[in-house]
């Protein structure tokens, strides 16, 4: 993390889930690993915003306690805006204002950008057992109450400010749309990036339509996919979860079998960051550069900065993304004593 932060000039760090492997932690100090994670950010006085992944919600690790741990620091922008039983915690949005919006007068300014954060849950309920003594699995999709909040809040913001505000979204689990688009084929020269996790694991995988477990896919992420596809100004969705995937693709067509029509939204994965977790892909971080000028053209630049310092897979998520040609990803792998460990 230090090397990436030193090589780049970020205004915000996003921690996009699976920050902690909760199932390997003890109840008494499971949230304390967050102190180690954010130490480089505190040292640089960088703000951060988190989403939680399936490993961040486990029998000994509570999302609520983790959020409380984060928010002991002023740098943490992670918060909770939607409340309900078992719907997750990291559901919120952050506005980004222009530099000429006077400090303290933000309520009278229109944000130049909105950042949406969603909690797709997964993992297990905190300190809960079922009748047979087994941990209780949590649904691994964005809850419908959160989708309602997203739709209502997005509309409300547009109405209040009298315009569509460009936005980006972050959620640990990708939606099924990404899985379907992968199945159609990811051209390495149009969508450069790692494509080694096949098929990708996505929301609602492992669940049945009736909400029970044990099926391949239950479809419960359809409301969320529909909300994303119908949100004007949403330029890209950034997901994680699948360590062996790092491409950005564009939902420019109606994927075969998908009920939700794509609207040109870019669906991106990042670079696996941690020394923990499966796989030997080089560790790194996806960088996203937004300028006020580029937003007028609905464009965003993004690339991968590796721990080694290498700068790879740079693309422009613009109107011709998916037609433009780029060098294929070099897909380097890392070395180290833990690199062949599978969780």
Partner 1 sequence: MYKEQTPAWIDQKRDRCRSVEMFAILLALCSLAYFTFGNVLPQRWVQQEPLRFTEDGSFQIAIFEDFHFGESMPFLLATQI
Site for partner 1 in 16-45 (CB under 8 A): 16-22, 24-25, 30, 33-34, 36-37
Binding string to partner 1 for residues 44 to 83, with x set by CB under 8 A, is what?
A: ---x-----x-x---------------xxxx-xx------
Pure H helices in 44-90 = 63-70
Per CB under 8 A, contacts with partner 1 among 245-304 are: 270-277, 285-293
Q: Rounded to an integer, what distance in angstroms lies between the CA atom of residue 274 and that of residue 296?
A: 35
Q: Which C-beta is closer to partner 1: that of 258 or that of 302?
A: 302
Sign of the CA dihedral with 23 first, then 24, 30, and 36 last: negative
Q: Encoding tokens for residue 158?
A: 């547009």
For the beta carbon of residue 183, count every other beta carbon within 10 angstroms. 14
Specify the DSSP element, H or E, that contains 144: helix 144-161
- Which helix (DSSP H) or strand (DSSP E) does residue 178 occupy? helix 176-184
> Rounded distance, CA 41 to CA 76, Å?
10
The interface mask with partner 1, positions 138-177, x = CB under 8 A, is: ------------------------------x-x-x-----
- Tell me the site size for partner 1, rule CB under 8 A: 75
Q: Which stretch binds partner 1 (CB under 8 A): 101-109, 148-156, 200-208, 321-329?
A: 101-109
- Which residues from 190-219 bind partner 1, rule CB under 8 A? none
Q: Closer to partner 1 at the Cβ: 36 or 132? A: 36
Query: What's the closest the beta carbon of residue 19 comes to partner 1, in angstroms?
Result: 5
Residues 6+ away with beta carbon under 8 Å from 153 = 81, 93
Of 105 and 325, which CB lies nearer to partner 1 in the complex structure? 105
């Amino acid at each position: 993390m230090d090397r990436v932060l030193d090589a780049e000039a970020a205004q915000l760090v996003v921690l996009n889930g699976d920050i902690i492997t909760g199932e390997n932690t003890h109840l008494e100090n499971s949230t304390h690993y967050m102190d180690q994670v954010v130490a480089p950010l505190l040292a640089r006085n960088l703000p951060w915003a988190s989403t939680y992944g399936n490993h961040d919600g486990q029998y000994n690790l509570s999302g609520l306690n983790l959020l409380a741990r984060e928010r002991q620091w002023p740098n943490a922008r992670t918060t909770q805006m939607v409340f309900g039983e078992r719907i997750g915690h990291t559901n919120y949005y952050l506005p980004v204002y222009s530099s000429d919006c006077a400090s303290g007068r933000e309520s009278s300014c229109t944000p130049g950008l909105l950042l949406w954060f969603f909690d797709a849950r997964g993992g297990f309920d905190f300190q809960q057992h079922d009748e047979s003594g087994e941990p209780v699995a949590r649904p691994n999709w964005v809850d419908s109450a959160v989708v309602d909040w997203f739709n209502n809040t997005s509309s409300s913001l547009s109405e209040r400010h009298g315009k569509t505000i460009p936005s980006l979204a972050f959620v640990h689990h990708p939606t099924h749309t990404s899985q379907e688009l992968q199945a159609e084929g990811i051209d390495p020269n149009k969508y450069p990036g790692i494509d080694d996790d096949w098929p990708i694991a996505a929301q609602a995988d492992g669940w049945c339509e009736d909400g029970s477990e044990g099926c391949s896919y239950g479809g419960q992420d359809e409301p969320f996919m529909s909300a994303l596809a119908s949100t004007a100004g949403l330029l890209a969705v950034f997901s994680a979860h699948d360590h062996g995937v790092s491409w950005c693709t564009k939902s420019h067509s109606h994927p075969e079998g998908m009920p939700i029509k794509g609207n040109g939204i870019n669906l991106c994965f990042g670079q696996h960051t941690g020394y923990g977790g499966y796989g030997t892909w080089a560790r790194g971080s996806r960088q996203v550069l937004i300028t006020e000028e580029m937003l007028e053209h609905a464009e965003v630049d993004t690339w991968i900065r590796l721990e080694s310092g290498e700068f790879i897979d740079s693309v422009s998520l613009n109107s011709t993304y998916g037609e433009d040609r780029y060098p294929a990803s070099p897909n380097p792998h890392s070395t180290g004593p833990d690199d062949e460990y599978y969780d």
